């Protein structure tokens, strides 16, 4: 499926993708139980990314977000995440290894890198870790824009620990962003409330850390739009938390990840774009009203979008087309669309476009 050419006037920054070579799959924390034919149980590097984005003529590049490699808060558990940083630096420098699926010319696509970080370990450990990341990056340290520590699969209370708050505030003081990944549908609404409480504590400490929220917090999109509009508690409680998050001016939201939360699409007959816009409208309306386009950014969540999207070849372009239709449905002016497609990501991540 080709990307719609009506949006070609807007430069595009894909603010959320993951990359890994086939040889890296054993180091990912979530692949042990995947079936052999699962869409994610295969290589996804820049060769594959270029193949699915080739119809998007104005794609400037991407922000890589850590792929949840095996890790831990102790230094002895950092080996795999440093391997991931090394992999991204080889892409950024144009120095591929055999079998990694990238070419020297792909270096232009890497606009930013957001590695994992042991945020709950507190400031002292976090500083030691970040210094080691800097050593791995060398002359491409400028590409490190922020860090992520996934909380969607962590015990309740992690985000409220003093060390976690301290770690986030240290990131902000040193010019780094934090990508916040919670899972409202699978992890429970309590994660959303905890995230709101965490934000209150972080910003009450006079921090200005930019917290970039992933995937609408993975809402319960198995509800119908009419159920949401009728006041289903899953929607109303999600909406209340989204508004609380947006009340902090240093928070941002990624328009990404919705395919994974929607019912699985038929590969032979993908769900119509108009249907997807209608299905997601209550959630989209709430986010745009709360954050405004200047704090919302396009992200594909590739290759995870393949899990709920049409198929491996078509899902990126199908999501791109859905976002294009969403922006029309929201009645955005051209300058507002530009913010969502690239401007917000460039500003939030301090991306340098050459």
Q: With respect to residue 291, please indicate whether it lies within any of the assigned structural domains.
A: yes
State which residues of the chain have pLDDT below 50.
Answer: 5
Residue 258 domain flag = yes
Total domains present in the chain:
1
Domain containing 130 equals 5-348
User: Does residue 126 form part of some domain?
Assistant: yes
> What distance in Å separates the CA atoms of residue 335 and residue 338, rounded to the nearest whole number?
5
- Answer yes or no: is 354 within a domain: no
How far is residue 238 from each of residues 138, 185, 221, 256, 300, measured CA to CA in Å?
Answer: 41, 10, 11, 16, 22
Is residue 152 within 8 A of residue 184, CB to CB? The reply is no
Q: List 144's β-bridge partners, or say none.
A: 113
Look at the block and give the residue holding tokens 């400028």. Answer: 142
Q: Is 99 helix (H, G, I), strand (E, B) or coil?
A: coil
CATH number at residue 197: 3.20.20.140
pLDDT, tens digit (0-9, with 9 covering 90-100), for 80-114: 999 999 999 999 999 999 999 999 999 999 999 99
What is the spatial distance between Cα 21 and Cα 40, in angstroms, rounded to a whole number? 11
Q: What are the C-alpha distances in Å from 303 to residues 68, 105, 150, 256, 319?
A: 13, 21, 17, 12, 11
pLDDT tens for 162-217 read 999 999 999 999 999 999 999 988 888 999 999 999 999 999 988 999 999 999 99
- The answer to whether residue 303 is domain-embedded is yes
pLDDT of res. 8: 64
Q: For residues 157 and 104, what is the distance between their CA atoms, to the nearest angstrom?
A: 44
> Would residue 344 count as lying in a domain?
yes
Give 180's contacts (C-beta < 8 A, 6+ positions apart).
Answer: 148, 151, 195, 211, 212, 213, 214
Per DSSP, the three-state class of 241 is helix
Q: Which two tokens stand for residue 142?
A: 């400028």
Residues 256, 224: contact at Cβ < 8 Å? no
Give domain status of residue 353, yes or no: no
**Residue 164 counted as domain residue:** yes
Q: How far is CA 346 from CA 28, 95, 112, 115, 201, in A?
A: 28, 25, 10, 18, 27
Alpha carbon 81 to its chain's center? 17
């Amino acid at each position: 499926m080709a990307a719609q050419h009506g949006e070609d006037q807007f430069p595009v920054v894909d603010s959320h993708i993951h990359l890994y070579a086939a040889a890296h799959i054993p180091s990912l924390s979530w692949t042990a139980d995947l079936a052999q034919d699962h869409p994610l149980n295969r290589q996804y590097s820049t060769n594959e990314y270029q193949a699915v984005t080739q119809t998007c003529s104005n794609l400037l590049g991407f922000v890589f977000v850590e792929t949840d490699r095996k890790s831990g808060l102790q230094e002895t558990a950092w080996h795999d995440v440093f391997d991931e940083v090394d992999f991204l630096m080889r892409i950024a420098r144009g120095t591929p290894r055999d079998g990694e699926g990238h070419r020297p010319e792909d270096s232009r696509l890497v606009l930013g890198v957001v590695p994992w970080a042991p945020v709950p370990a507190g400031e002292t450990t976090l500083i030691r870790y970040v210094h080691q990341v800097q050593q791995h990056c060398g002359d491409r340290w400028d590409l490190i824009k922020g860090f992520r520590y996934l909380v969607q699969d962590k015990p309740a209370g992690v985000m409220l620990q003093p060390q976690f708050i301290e770690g986030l505030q240290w990131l902000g003081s040193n010019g780094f962003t934090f990508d916040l990944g919670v899972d409202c549908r699978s992890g429970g609404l309590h994660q959303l409330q905890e995230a709101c409480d965490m934000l209150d504590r972080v910003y009450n400490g006079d921090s200005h850390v930019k917290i970039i929220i992933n995937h609408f917090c993975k809402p319960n999109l198995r509800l119908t739009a009419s159920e949401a509009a009728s006041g289903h508690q899953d929607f109303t409680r999600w909406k209340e938390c989204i508004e609380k998050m947006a009340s902090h001016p240093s928070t941002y939201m990624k328009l990404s990840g919705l395919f994974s939360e929607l019912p699985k699409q038929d590969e032979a007959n993908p769900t119509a774009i108009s249907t997807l816009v209608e299905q997601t409208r209550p959630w989209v309306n709430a986010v745009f009203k709360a954050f405004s386009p200047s704090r919302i950014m396009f992200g594909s969540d590739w290759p995870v979008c393949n899990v709920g999207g049409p198929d491996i070849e078509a899902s990126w372009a199908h999501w791109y087309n859905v976002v294009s239709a969403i922006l029309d449905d929201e009645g955005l002016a051209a300058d507002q669309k530009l913010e969502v497609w690239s401007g917000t990501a460039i500003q939030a991540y301090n991306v340098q476009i050459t």
